[in-house]
């Protein structure tokens, strides 16, 4: 066989050639066995890497809550129990799963990500190479394409800036949804106190006179406040309430708010009713508002 000579193998413009022709001979002046030592080290590191990959795959199945082509969501508390090397590897593994490669992902990126995931505030974000973004949630973190918009949960929702009049009594349908709202009026004396202690988060009772004849559903607006039942009539910013109750950020702009004829938020639907529209001993007529889903 006649060997072929590639002239580029002698070109010092390439780093590999400078390592072979300049660096290794220099290191050999300090350690004549440098090539054997490097080969032995490479074998050891390759074996350690194989072992780590087995551990990473096992941990991956343990910590990943959901995965699709656009986003991967990881359980935060489970991830935090892992050894440092495995935590780092999980972050790299997520990048590889979404983009096919972790090329251009440097140690500094992973290190900053670990700092954010250990001590960052909920909602904190960090941009990664490959047009990816890391977002810290309450009990999870998500790595996703920067243009990714998560779907809201399968709960009653409204289009942004919607305003839907409520039929009383009767049926009000939520646009673009399988959900509808059923309302009924009762005399106060016809209902036992036990009726008001039901635990369905999507069914609530109100003083009909406080709510008025023309209530409506809408989505939140900047500066919204309301008086959550149980706070003695004190106002709270709606944004603070949503954060305190860990309402998913992707759902906050879609939550139906049940609003009185006079504009008072009577119910952050699914979470809390208003103090002033509650049923009391002085209530004469009770309004029942209940969300239902078409089967």
Question: Which of these, 269, 284, 290, lies nearest to 210 by C-alpha position?
Answer: 284
User: Phi, psi (5° rounding) for residue 202?
Assistant: -110, 25
DSSP H helices, 29-106, are 34-63, 76-80, 84-99
Strands (E), the chain: 64-67, 71-75, 125-128, 132-136, 140-145, 163-165, 170-173, 179-187, 203-207, 216-218, 225-226, 236-237, 257-259, 265-268, 272-273, 285-293
Say how far apart CA 263 and CA 258 lie, in whole Å. 9
Indicate the pTM of the whole model.
0.62
The predicted structure's pLDDT at residue 137: 86
Mean pLDDT in order along the chain per 10 residues (295 residues): 82 91 93 93 89 90 92 95 95 95 92 94 90 91 88 80 94 91 95 82 95 96 94 90 86 93 96 94 95 85
Full set of structural domains in the chain with CATH: 31-145 (3.30.465.60), 163-293 (3.50.40.10)
Task: List CB contacts of 265: < 8 A, sequence separation 6 or more.
Answer: 224, 225, 226, 238, 257, 258, 259, 274
The predicted structure's pLDDT at residue 151: 65
Say how far apart CA 177 and CA 271 lie, in whole Å. 20
The predicted structure's pLDDT at residue 211: 97
Say how far apart CA 127 and CA 176 lie, in whole Å. 34
Neighbours of 168 (CB within 10 A): 18
Our CA dihedral for 44, 46, 50, 53, rounded to 10 degrees, sits at 120
């Amino acid at each position: 066989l006649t060997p072929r000579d590639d002239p580029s193998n002698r070109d010092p413009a390439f780093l590999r050639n400078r390592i072979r022709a300049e660096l290794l001979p220099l290191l050999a002046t300090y350690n004549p066995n440098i090539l054997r030592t490097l080969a032995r080290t490479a074998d050891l590191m390759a074996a350690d890497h194989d072992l780590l990959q087995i551990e990473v795959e096992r941990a991956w199945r343990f910590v990943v809550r959901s995965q699709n082509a656009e986003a991967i969501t990881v359980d935060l508390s489970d991830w935090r129990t892992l050894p440092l090397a495995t935590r780092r590897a999980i972050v790299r593994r997520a990048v590889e799963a979404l983009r096919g490669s972790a090329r251009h992902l440097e140690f500094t990126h992973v290190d900053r990500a670990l700092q954010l995931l250990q001590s960052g505030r909920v909602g904190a974000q960090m941009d990664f190479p490959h047009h990816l973004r890391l977002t810290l949630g309450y009990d999870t973190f998500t790595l996703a394409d920067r243009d990714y918009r998560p779907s809201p949960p399968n709960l009653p929702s409204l289009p942004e800036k919607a305003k839907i009049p409520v039929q009383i009594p009767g049926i009000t349908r939520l646009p673009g949804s399988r959900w509808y709202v059923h309302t009924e009026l009762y005399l106060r004396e016809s209902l036992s106190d036990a009726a008001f202690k039901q635990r369905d988060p999507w069914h609530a009772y109100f003083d009909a006179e406080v709510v008025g004849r023309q209530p409506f559903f809408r989505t939140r607006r900047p500066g919204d406040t309301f008086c959550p039942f149980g706070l003695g009539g004190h106002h709270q910013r709606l944004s603070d309430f949503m954060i305190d109750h860990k309402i998913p950020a992707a759902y906050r702009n879609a939550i139906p708010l049940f609003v009185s004829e006079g504009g008072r938020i009577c119910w952050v639907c699914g979470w809390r009713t208003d103090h002033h529209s509650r049923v009391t001993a002085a209530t004469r007529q009770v309004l029942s508002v209940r969300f239902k889903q078409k089967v």
